[in-house]
Structure 1
């Protein structure tokens, strides 16, 4: 499994959602902090990406804004501060008339509000201009996503989730140069092993041997790259896999525990409750 596939899998644990936002007026709009990972694609109009920590960045038609962990940000007509922008009216239907600017949004909920460790070294909010001529598939995905948002129909929920997954793949391909582990000797091998075989009873020593590093050097490098110690990262990966099994299958809890590396359903239940705030059975009932 490559690292982009692993990264998409680590966030595709909840139902993806999306909508079209259109805005007119002299200012723009501000999007609050939300426990989601998401993106915007500018469909029309020129404006500025406004964040709390960086200078305003120009955005225009076709540009993509990636938001790694729901940080507050805004789209403005002119450079300004985030506090100067009015909050977005998220419940309103976009106007039928042409707007000053319009964009598509796609989001994934982040359980517990935490970004998966595999993505924690991506920029918090970033805008970039794709090369649509070099990547015609991305242009097609944007067009299909816009058409899906414009008209609900049978299967829209499934199609929307798949299209948002595809958008995230293209975005991560663009951003992968920023991933510090993309050229980290040893760490990428250990990550692939954990993602391909999460149920295997890995030890730090086994992973460091796989990486070709001493145990202490591997632990330091792995934590510097992912933001988590190896065993904490593995636990997070196992629970994400368990969450997906609960939501997408009717497998009994014993089987889910075994497939995610837990010796007993009691051990899985205790770990799952710590991360998601409820036992697996209740989670399956509410989210399945």
Structure 2
């Protein structure tokens, strides 16, 4: 399930930036869409949330922002509303050490929604990487730092792969840590099996009864149980998954709208286009080529945000 959740984020655009702060520094991230993280490289600071106590951060700590929750980083504990909104510019200082240095990586979802798996997790997670269990994580952080330092524009494919690795490793460590505390992450194996079926065959013309039959449940019992675990009815989840797959195909392939419609279970290109517009607020063509949109849309595309279930598969991966 982790890999599928991360795959769903690829409908957004990956970004990595390095920040250096000194003195009485602080910044607030609000109005965010997507998922992302901060990695502390140097110094100490505090994670500031809306309705939770500040959390001390040390070098190596990773703050995972699962679903775009408003939050802040600061040199000292404070109220979130007192921090200035972060400003991303291209003239970050590049020489000399700072009091606090960190990487900020994100998948910005301009029109989409985070996967229910991520949406059901706590809004903000702090993980202190265990390099003995996850030795590759150290290399991933190094690769991200190199990417951010070079500020190149030709590394989008590589960047997405490294962002994937970072999110996967951090999520897996957090899940293992939670499991060791007696907090199981598998809520319902039967529903996990249905989700696996949906994810692997979105093009199938599923009915609620057919999905229930795959795990030996009646239509009524299955609908009630699925909705309780996932947070939405089966057909709503199926539609959302299909359109999430479509968004990824639009961004990653040159497949025609008709071909994409067939791959995700829509009988016609027109039915697919109508459903996509209702979900994402733009046509499939405009989603695929946002640079052809209005000037205001283009500016929105360039605005950097830091990226904001209960469902899991038996394998947890």
What TM-score do the two structures reach when normalised by structure 1?
0.92
Q: CA deviation at 1:273?
A: 0.7
Moved more, 9-18 or 147-156: 147-156
Instruction: Output the CA distance in 2 between the equivalents of 1:121 and 1:20.
Output: 28
Q: Partner of 1:186: helix, strand, or coil?
A: helix
- Correspondence for 1:231 among 229, 232, 235: 235
Moved more, 81-90 or 129-138: 81-90
Q: Give the equivalent residue in structure 1 for 2:266.
A: 262
**1:186–1:210: 8 Å Cα contact kept in structure 2?**
no
Q: Give the equivalent residue in structure 2 for 1:65.
A: 63
Q: Give the equivalent residue in structure 2 for 1:12.
A: 10
> For structure 1, which runs of at least 5 residues remain unmatched after alignment?
none
Q: CA deviation at 1:183?
A: 3.9
Q: Partner of 2:111: helix, strand, or coil?
A: helix
Q: CA deviation at 1:87?
A: 2.6
Q: CA deviation at 1:29?
A: 1.9
Instruction: Output the CA distance in 2 between the equivalents of 1:8 and 1:110.
Output: 12
Instruction: Output the CA distance in 2 between the equivalents of 1:249 and 1:113.
Output: 18
The superposition leaves residues 161-200 of structure 1 with CA deviations (integer Å, 9 ceiling, x where unpaired) of 1111111111221344669762413011011111111111
The superposition leaves residues 225-261 of structure 1 with CA deviations (integer Å, 9 ceiling, x where unpaired) of 2222111111111111111222222222211111110
The reply to whether residue 170 of structure 1 matches residue 174 of structure 2 is no
Runs of 4+ in 1 over 6 A off after TM superposition: 178-181
Q: CA deviation at 1:91?
A: 1.6
Instruction: Output the CA distance in 2 between the equivalents of 1:180 and 1:233.
Output: 23
Q: CA deviation at 1:157?
A: 1.9
Change (3 A) 1:254 1:92: closer
Q: Partner of 2:289: helix, strand, or coil?
A: helix
Instruction: Output the CA distance in 1 between the equivalents of 2:287 and 2:85.
Output: 32
Structure with more contact order per residue of length (Cα contacts < 8 Å, sep ≥ 6): 2
Instruction: Output the CA distance in 1 between the equivalents of 2:111 and 2:254.
Output: 24
Paired residues for 1:1-288 under 5 Å? 3-91=1-89, 93-95=91-93, 96-112=95-111, 114-153=113-152, 155-176=154-175, 182-286=186-290
**1:120–1:227: 8 Å Cα contact kept in structure 2?**
no
What TM-score do the two structures reach when normalised by structure 2?
0.84
Q: Partner of 2:261: helix, strand, or coil?
A: helix
Instruction: Output the CA distance in 1 between the equivalents of 2:148 and 2:73.
Output: 20
The superposition leaves residues 188-230 of structure 1 with CA deviations (integer Å, 9 ceiling, x where unpaired) of 1011111111111111112112233332232222222222211
Q: CA deviation at 1:102?
A: 1.0
Q: Partner of 2:13: helix, strand, or coil?
A: coil
**2:16–2:147: 8 Å Cα contact kept in structure 1?**
no
> For structure 2, which runs of at least 5 residues remain unmatched after alignment?
293-317
Moved more, 7-16 or 56-65: 7-16
Q: CA deviation at 1:262?
A: 0.2
- Give RMSD over aligned pairs: 2.1
